[in-house]
């Protein structure tokens, strides 16, 4: 790990001023940042520690029935907050399907949005990576790339965004609150992450020194609570990133789908909302035929970026599974293996 | 740069001067406080051998900067027993042969204590396995670990049931 200066600001304004110095990085829990620094992938000259900054760790109810979630709220605290889990069960399920219990106890909301890709070539300083070193090339293109992107990728970068949390969040229209030296602004989560294009090192719309202070879920998003699921296919049962994942949130009226909110994870450099698939389902009767049509629309633009063509059909099937489970209704209690396609949605144990 | 922090480690208040902000909580415990029960496995948050409780919650101490935890209460494997009496989780691990080489065991036990405190697993072995998935055991003692966690949880719940009755 490189040497760095350590700064512990007492207010958001102090933090933003401190981080405006080039070479600075914010430290929340550090569960991703310290890992990257130990590997020499990130080498910030100063860390601006948010541990003592007040006003970042509350879950607040909003007048419209939505919630404002402070950027330093821990993943586990959010997932187990009864008011949150009741209103946004698919988001709670996604959170509990990510990482391990230890990491969820530490990792924060803001850090989850800003975590870096787990592309092995990005993590290996001996490999060429345009994201780590602009212009260096991309060893993933001809490398071990079966888990890489099938949507929105470029010749310069085929990495995916690894978050589970962001997938139902983007489906439900979450908004990111950002503080910078010029004041506060808001960006829909859908527009927060950038696709790689020719500048894969720029992963979000944050300007240098800007700080994510909160994520907001609008009250209308709670209208999907009765039919909301997240499904995540992993290469092992637990404690693994998604091969592909899907969030499906439905509002049913008189047996038909009044409105659908759908997003995919593990397929692109950002959580991938699929409005075309949502449109297919509007007014449709829930069922295998409509779900398959929606899945076809969701992946219509998908292209393999390497040995990963299988992910396209897998993503369709995981989306159909998520829709099928969502249509059956959100379970009273999350299954023992949250988001697992291997779990019974009723929460009954697989192994007796 | 000199940074001073206070930590309560196994109920003992400590003031610690850090000459380098890079020191992780894990390295602080092992190298500076001589509490080597907490193990360094992968040092990257993947194996769980370094699990300790910080303010009552299980975390990976390898991915925590000590300097960022000024004022925290830390509980390690050394602070778990009551004198010569093992903690119920420790006793259950012995009873169920929940280890072979023992390297992952302090992390497994601290993680189990955290899991039981969280109160989310109930008596469902599937939920216990899922809740313990952040702790790897290369000897493959998982069967015994799951049984030990379930038994310790029952024992820890007994006094409460007696009080309620």
- Do B23 and B74 share a domain, yes or no? yes
Among candidates B133, B132, B128, which has minimal Cα distance to B153? B128
Based on the number of CB atoms within 10 Å of its own CB, is A257 exposed (0-12), middle (13-18) or buried (19 or more)? buried
Write down the pLDDT at residue A342: 84
- Do B72 and B95 share a domain, yes or no? no
Interface probe with B: pick from A24, A102, A234, A344, most Cβ of B within 10 Å: A102
The answer on pLDDT for A55 being more than 70 is yes
Write down the pLDDT at residue B93: 98
pLDDT in tens, B17-71: 999 999 999 999 999 999 999 999 999 999 999 999 999 999 999 999 999 999 9
HEC states along A76-139? HHHHCCHHHHHHCHHHHHHHHCCCCHHHHHHCEHHHHHHCCCCCHHHHCCCCCECCCCCCCCEC
Among candidates A126, A100, A159, which has minimal Cα distance to B63? A100
Name the E strands within B23-142: 51-54, 57-60, 73-75
ipTM of the shown complex: 0.96
Within-domain flag for B165: no
CATH number belonging to domain A228-328: 3.30.390.50
- Do B96 and B37 share a domain, yes or no? no
- Do B7 and B73 share a domain, yes or no? yes
Number of domains chain B is built from: 2
pLDDT in tens, A76-106: 999 999 999 999 999 999 999 999 999 999 9
pLDDT in tens, A242-278: 999 999 999 999 999 999 999 999 999 999 999 999 9
Whether residues B126 and A102 touch (CB distance < 8 A) is answered with no
Confidence of residue B162 (pLDDT cuts 50, 70, 90): low
Q: Can you tell me which residue has the tokens 């069922």? A: A287
> Rounded mean pLDDT of chain A?
96
The Cα of B153 is separated from the nearest Cα of chain A by a number of Å equal to: 17
Contact A49/B at CB under 8 A: yes
Residue B54: give its domain's CATH number.
Answer: 3.10.20.30
Whether residues A349 and B114 touch (CB distance < 8 A) is answered with no
Confidence of residue A350 (pLDDT cuts 50, 70, 90): very low
| CATH class held by domain A5-52 | alpha beta
- Do B30 and B53 share a domain, yes or no? yes
The Cα of B47 is separated from the nearest Cα of chain A by a number of Å equal to: 10
How far apart, in whole angstroms, are the C-alpha atoms of residue B78 and residue B62? 17
H-assigned helices in chain A: 12-19, 33-38, 75-79, 82-87, 89-96, 101-106, 109-114, 120-123, 166-171, 275-281, 288-298, 310-328
Contact A100/B at CB under 8 A: yes
Contact A239/B at CB under 8 A: yes
The Cα of A239 is separated from the nearest Cα of chain B by a number of Å equal to: 6
Write down the pLDDT at residue B142: 98
Q: Which domain holds residue B32?
A: 3-79
The answer on pLDDT for A352 being more than 70 is no
Confidence of residue B96 (pLDDT cuts 50, 70, 90): very high
Whether residues A336 and B45 touch (CB distance < 8 A) is answered with no
Residues of B in contact with A51 (CB under 8 A): 68-70
Token pair for residue A126? Answer: 């001996």
Within-domain flag for B145: yes
Residue B135: give its domain's CATH number.
Answer: 1.10.150.120
pLDDT in tens, B111-150: 999 999 999 998 999 999 999 999 999 999 999 999 999 9
The Cα of A154 is separated from the nearest Cα of chain B by a number of Å equal to: 30
- Do B62 and B11 share a domain, yes or no? yes
Q: Where are the domains of chain A?
A: 5-52, 228-328
Q: What is the largest CA-CA distance in chain A?
A: 62
Confidence of residue A343 (pLDDT cuts 50, 70, 90): confident
Of B79, B96, B120, the position where a domain reaches its end is B79
The answer on pLDDT for B90 being more than 50 is yes
Nearest by CB: B126 against A34, A102, A351 = A351
pLDDT in tens, A200-222: 999 999 999 999 999 999 999 99
pLDDT in tens, A154-178: 999 999 999 999 999 999 999 999 9
Of B79, B110, B145, the position where a domain reaches its end is B79
Show which residues on chain B lie within 8 Å of chain A, measured between beta carbons: 1, 3, 20-22, 24, 43-45, 48, 51, 57-60, 63-65, 67-70, 111, 114-115, 118, 120, 124-127, 129-135
The answer on pLDDT for A16 being more than 50 is yes
How far apart, in whole angstroms, are the C-alpha atoms of residue B108 and residue B139? 13
The answer on pLDDT for A65 being more than 70 is yes
Rounded percentage of chain A residues whose pLDDT exceeds 70: 97
Question: What's chain B's length in residues?
Answer: 165
């Amino acid at each position: 790990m490189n040497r760095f200066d350590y700064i512990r600001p007492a207010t958001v304004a102090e933090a933003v001023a401190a981080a405006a110095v080039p070479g600075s990085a914010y430290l929340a829990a550090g569960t991703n940042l310290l890992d990257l620094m130990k590997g020499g992938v990130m080498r910030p000259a100063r860390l601006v520690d948010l541990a003592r900054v007040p006003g970042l760790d509350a879950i607040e109810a909003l007048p419209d029935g939505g919630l404002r979630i402070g950027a330093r709220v821990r993943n586990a605290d959010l997932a187990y907050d009864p008011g949150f889990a009741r209103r946004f069960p698919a988001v709670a399920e996604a959170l509990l399907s990510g990482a391990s219990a230890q990491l969820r106890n530490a990792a924060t909301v803001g850090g989850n949005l800003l975590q870096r890709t787990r592309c092995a070539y990005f993590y290996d300083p001996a490999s060429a990576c345009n994201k780590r070193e602009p212009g260096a090339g991309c060893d993933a293109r001809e490398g071990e790339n079966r888990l890489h992107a099938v949507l929105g990728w470029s010749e310069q970068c085929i990495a995916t965004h690894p978050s589970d949390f962001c997938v139902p969040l983007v489906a439900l229209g979450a908004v990111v609150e950002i503080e910078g030296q010029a004041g506060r602004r808001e960006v829909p989560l859908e527009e927060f992450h950038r696709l790689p294009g020719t500048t894969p090192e720029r992963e979000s719309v944050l300007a240098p020194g800007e700080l994510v202070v909160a994520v907001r879920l609008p009250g209308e998003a709670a209208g999907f609570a009765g039919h909301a699921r997240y499904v995540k296919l992993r290469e092992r049962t637990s404690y693994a990133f998604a091969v592909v994942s899907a969030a499906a949130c439905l509002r049913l009226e008189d047996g038909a789908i009044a409105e659908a909110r759908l997003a995919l994870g593990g397929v692109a450099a950002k959580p991938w909302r699929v409005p075309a698939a949502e449109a297919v389902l509007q007014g449709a009767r829930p069922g295998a035929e409509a779900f398959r049509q929606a899945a076809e629309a969701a992946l219509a633009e998908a292209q393999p970026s390497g040995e990963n063509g299988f992910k396209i059909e897998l993503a369709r099937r995981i989306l159909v599974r998520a829709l099928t489970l969502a249509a059956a209704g959100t379970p009273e209690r999350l299954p023992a293996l949250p988001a697992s396609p291997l779990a019974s949605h009723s929460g009954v144990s697989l192994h007796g | 740069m000199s940074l001073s922090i206070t930590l309560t480690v196994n109920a003992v208040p400590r003031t610690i001067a850090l000459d380098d902000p890079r020191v992780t909580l894990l390295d602080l415990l092992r190298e500076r406080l001589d509490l080597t029960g907490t193990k360094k496995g992968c040092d990257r948050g993947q194996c769980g051998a370094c699990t300790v409780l910080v303010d009552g919650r299980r975390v990976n101490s390898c991915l925590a900067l000590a300097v960022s935890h000024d004022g925290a209460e830390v509980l390690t494997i050394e602070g778990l027993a009551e004198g010569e009496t093992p903690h119920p989780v420790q006793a259950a691990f012995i009873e169920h042969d929940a280890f072979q080489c023992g390297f992952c065991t302090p992390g497994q036990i601290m993680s189990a204590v955290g899991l039981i405190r969280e109160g989310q697993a109930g008596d469902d072995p599937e939920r216990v396995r899922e809740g313990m998935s952040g702790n790897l055991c290369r000897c493959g003692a998982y069967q015994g670990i799951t049984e030990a966690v379930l038994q310790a949880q029952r024992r820890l719940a007994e006094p409460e049931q007696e009080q309620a009755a």
